Amino acid sequence: MPTNTARNLLIQRLPSAERARLLTLCEPFDMLLSAQLSVRDKPLTHAYFPLEGFVSLVIDVDTYPALEVGMVGRESMIGSEQVLGLAPTPWRALVQGAGTSLRIASQSLRAEMDASPALRQVVQTSLLVRLHQQTLASACERFHMIGPRLARWLLMSQDRAQSDSFHVTQEFMALMLGVRRVGVTVAAGALQSQGMIRYHRGELTVLNRPALEAQACSCYAIDKAIHTRLTRR
């Protein structure tokens, strides 16, 4: 597989020889909107390296609505926990933005990590970044208001969509934030009235990113700083 398919930033961090060897073990995989790449309490059969599009990691608790605890785009991967061994996952990986990815069988990934310390280090760092992100998401959900949380979530989505415009419904935003739809309607309406976003029939466009960043809770900047610090080690 040509290395120019490796638009995933995690794969790009590998030395050229390790990157080329990993790519020979991967295959193209289309991430369809709302598809599940992993199922709660079941081991992953594959790991995924998004090239375009993005994936939400959601937790289901009893009969309550699902709650997003992480988001993955081309900066990372789905399945980094396999560096710890084969084990059931506690979340569902739900495609939020349709796109393309590379995928590799779990067994092949674990074998390659044993053979490549560079790959193991990159996957370990990816897992550590995600653990920080999930911890921050829990605190954010507990302490921050809906409006700043929505602004943060929209910025994270725009970063991974690699576009000012992307498709998202109010129902999905409410699901990811763990709030009632009416709360998202009010918060999104406020952002739109202030000229930060435009939203119509599921199509959202970020019009004023600096203003949206100023509106977002501090978790957005903290999350980016954590990612930068850990991936530059």
Give the chain's length: 233
Mean of the per-residue pLDDT values of the chain: 91
Distance from C-alpha of 225 to C-alpha of 233, rounded to nearest angstrom: 13
pLDDT score at 66: 78
* CATH code of the region 3-140: 2.60.120.10
Local structure of 42: helix, strand or coil: coil
How many other C-beta atoms are found inside a 10 Å radius of the C-beta of residue 217?
A: 18
Instruction: Tell which CATH classification among 1.20.1270.10, 3.40.50.970, 2.40.50.140, 1.10.10.10 matches the domain 145-216.
Output: 1.10.10.10
**103 versus 62: which is more confidently predicted?**
103
Closest CA to 206 of 157, 149, 135, 144: 157
Domain ranges of the chain: 3-140, 145-216
Query: For residues 51 and 53, what is the distance between their CA atoms, to the nearest angstrom?
Result: 7
If one compares 24 and 43, the residue with the highest pLDDT of the two is 24
Same fold, 3-140 and 145-216: no
pLDDT tens, residue by residue, 40-82: 888 899 999 999 999 999 988 887 777 888 899 999 999 999 9
Q: pTM of the entire structure?
A: 0.90
pLDDT score at 89: 86
> Tell me: the pLDDT tens digits for 161-200?
999 999 999 988 998 898 889 999 999 999 999 999 999 9
